[in-house]
Structure 1
Amino acid sequence: MKEEQIISALWAFLKRNAFKIFIIVVLLFLAGRKEFSFSINMNAPDRKPVKTQEKVKESYTENRVPQQEAAVTDRLELPNWWNKGGSTPSAPPQPDEAAVTAYIRRFAHVAEEEQSKFGIPASITMANSLYQSNAGQSDPARDANNQFGLPCTTDWLGETAKYQGNCLRKYENAWTSFRDHSYFITTGRFAPLKSLNDKDYKGWARSLEKLGYNQQKGLASELIRIIEKYQLNLLDE
């Protein structure tokens, strides 16, 4: 009779505390697994951490500039407009391939933005700035932020600078020069250029020369040569 009372009391205890007992059993089980896992890891040989290589976003200008070709600056000289009405300047130092590549990387996205806003092929903007500024190393480009050799005109109200007797526009920064160039070649006598396709870089190059961008003979062939050498037409896509 006494045993039955004990069993009955134990059973009543289990029923009252079943949930608590279940929680305790689960916690003990999890603690045991963690200790077992820790023991295994302590005995395992050391592993070298696996390095995750972050994928580097490569821009067109980092991939596409051919290093093996002769530099475009072999023939990058001050344009003919430079001598018009002024003294003959000394030839600027020719930029090396690294300077040309750095210039493209710096301003490629600016040229693309100008294409989006004005419909000018980015390749034309990029090639013209490369050629007119001697890859950013001409005096007007460095001292006046004039990347395109844009001259003073009667409607120009901004700052000016004199170079070898020529009046050129002066800008607060290079970006302003790019934006002014976009206005310059889409208005006035250059307004017909807006009817050209924004991927027709050859048509734009020939029209710039035909309409007298700077009285420079062979401008079209120079721009086309620079574009095709550095595959700048890929910026137009």
Structure 2
Amino acid sequence: MFKKIIALFTIIILVSCSASKPTAITTRKTAPVQQPKVVRTTKKPVYTKPTAKVTRTSTLNNTTEVIESTSKTLVTADLITGYVDQYKDIAMGNMKKYGIPASVILAQGILESGAGRGDLAVAANNHFGIKCHKDWLGESVRHDDDEAQECFRKYSEASESYRDHALFLAGKNRYATLFTYEKDDYKAWAKGLRAAGYATDPKYPDKLISYIERYNLHQYDCQVTGKEYKPFEKSMSAAASPKSNSNDPSLYQVEKGDTLYSISKKFNLLVDDLKQKNNLSDTTLSVGQKLIVK
């Protein structure tokens, strides 16, 4: 009996030792997961030519007109007046320093930049349509003009364009004759610019003179020279309000030789606007036909 007890006790001890033996745990090393490489690319900014803003106002005497500079721009009398107020001091300063009539500078600025609303004025602060030429080392932009994608000068601000315009005229031999004219003889300067090749448009002098006289720009020449200024008898409102040849002031009766273009110019309208007002599908007109012009 005693032997059985000892044998049983021995078995119990062996079983308990076997149960307390630690179990070996094997951990399988997992290969590190490689994260995909992220390649960052910097996208080059794409230059988008800004669209010139077209502002229409409905005030009674504020008519619209289209200025064909390096881009076709629709402006109002108020916009042109605002442009003159903004740059008249710079123009007079350039007249004092370089001898170019302030009236001519402002008229060229209005015409060449679309009163500051044209594509080149907006994109490059270029108010005088001056191209790069061989001696230009500054920034530039490309713009369709006489040829596709021509090189035009770019300025950081408009005042630089005004200064460069003065230096451009004063530094080129072909414009030397201009500086033999009186400082305030804007008509001679307007015609001289065309003759020297500044513009190819045969009506360029007339356009400059028209802006000078309609917006009384000659007064700034007189402020520099000290001469008495006499306003033009034909005011802007009178010049901008053509008379209708019909009993109804909103209608115009087509006369011999009239075209949609000539009528649109007479009433400061776009040809497309004139066609739309009168439901015209083409430009055909007949004498005696009445058109809505207001």
Instruction: State the TM-score bracket (shorter-chain normalisation).
Output: 0.5 to 0.7
C-alpha offsets along residues 163-197 of structure 1, whole Å, 9 cap, x if unaligned?
12121110111000000000111222112211111
Letter in 1 for 2:162: F
Q: Distance in 2 between matches of 1:69 and 1:192?
A: 39
**How far did residue 98 of structure 1 move?**
1.9
Query: Which one of the candidate residues 62, 66, 76 is aligned to 2:67?
Result: 76
Identity across matched positions, percent:
35
Q: 1:103 aligns with which of 71, 83, 98?
A: 83
Choose from 213, 219, 222 the match for 1:228.
213
Unaligned runs of 5+ in 2: 1-58, 223-294
Given that residues 186 and 193 in structure 1 are in contact (C-alpha distance below 8 angstroms), is that contact kept between their aligned partners in structure 2? no
The TM-score with structure 2 as length reference comes to: 0.51
Unaligned runs of 5+ residues in structure 1 are 1-66, 83-90
Distance in 2 (CA, whole Å) between partners of 1:123 and 1:68 is 27
Going from structure 1 to structure 2, the CA distance change for 1:93 and 1:76 (only over 3 Å counts) comes to closer
Mapped pair 1:172 → 2:153: no
TM alignment of 1:80-95, pairs within 5 A: 82=70, 92-95=72-75
SS in 1 for 2:72: coil
Identify the residue that residue 104 of structure 2 maps to in structure 1: 124
Asked if 1:203 corresponds to 2:194, the answer is: no
Shift of 1:223: 0.2
Equivalent in the alignment of 2:33? none
TM-score (norm: length of structure 1): 0.63
Q: What is the RMSD computed on CA atoms of the aligned residues?
A: 1.7
* Superposition map of 1:137-152 within 5 A: 137-152=117-132
Rounded Cα–Cα distance in structure 2 between residues aligned with 1:68 and 1:201: 30
**Structure 1 or 2: more helix by fraction:** 1
1:225–1:203: structure 2 CA closer, same or farther, 3 Å change rule? same
Mark the structure with the bigger radius of gyration: 2
Residues 69/204 of structure 1: CA separation in 2 closer, same or farther (3 Å cut): farther
Tell me, yes or no, if the aligned pair for 2:66 and 2:73 is still in contact at 8 Å: no
Q: Which is bigger in relative contact order (C-alpha 8 A, separation at least 6)?
A: 1
Q: How many Å separate the matches in 2 of 1:187 and 1:70?
A: 39
CA distance in 2 between partners of 1:206 and 1:93 (Å)? 24
1:193 aligns with 2:178: yes
Give aligned pairs, total.
159
Structure 1 position 120, deviation (Å): 0.5
After TM superposition, give the deviation of residue 97 of structure 1 in Å.
2.0
**Greater strand share, structure number:** 2
